[in-house]
Amino acid sequence: MKDKEGTDLERRGVLIWLSRGFLALWAPAAAGVATSFMKAPSAEHRPGERAIHAGTLSSLPIGDARFVHHGNDPVFVVRVSEAQVMAVSAICTHMRCVLKWDKETSTFQCPCHDGSFDRKGNVLSGPPKKPLPQFPAEVRADEIVVHT
């Protein structure tokens, strides 16, 4: 189709829509950049917060556990033997209540719904179904460091 000056109107229309379509692609691209920027990185992806300093090894008797504050995700460090420590989450896997260490029975007790875990985090009784997550722990010059 041509107008009276002989311009190809169809080609012109296609070009206009092509350029508009090209520009329209900018909107989803900008929205994608903005939303992925706005998504807060999860705690595991903040390198500075991955190592928890959990006190000295010498102040923790063998077979005992220590509660360590760490934001909304506290942990227990358990001294298994002379040189070996392990760390488990202090959050009940049932309803996220904070567990208590029972020294007599060497178990973790949940004050909310009476769940209990052994010192390795396995479920002994009560409503929880999943075991407590374990974290690698090491001793650096008498200081216990937990990596979450």
Site for another protein contains 37 (CB under 8 A): yes
> What type of residue is 87?
A
Name the segment binding another protein (CB under 8 A); options: 40-48, 65-73, 82-90, 129-137: 40-48
| Least distance between another protein and beta carbon 62 (Å) | 37
C-alpha distance from residue 52 to each of 30, 99, 130, 137, 138 (Å)? 37, 18, 24, 9, 11
Q: Between 37 and 81, name the residue whose CB sits nearer to another protein.
A: 37
Site for another protein contains 71 (CB under 8 A): no
Site for another protein contains 53 (CB under 8 A): no
Site for another protein contains 45 (CB under 8 A): yes
61 φ, ψ (degrees, to nearest 5): -65, 155
Site for another protein contains 20 (CB under 8 A): no
Q: Give me the torsion for CA of 41, 45, 49, 55, rounded to 10°.
A: 140
Is-contact 117 127, C-beta < 8 A? no
Residues in contact with another protein by CB under 8 A are: 23, 33-34, 36-41, 45-48
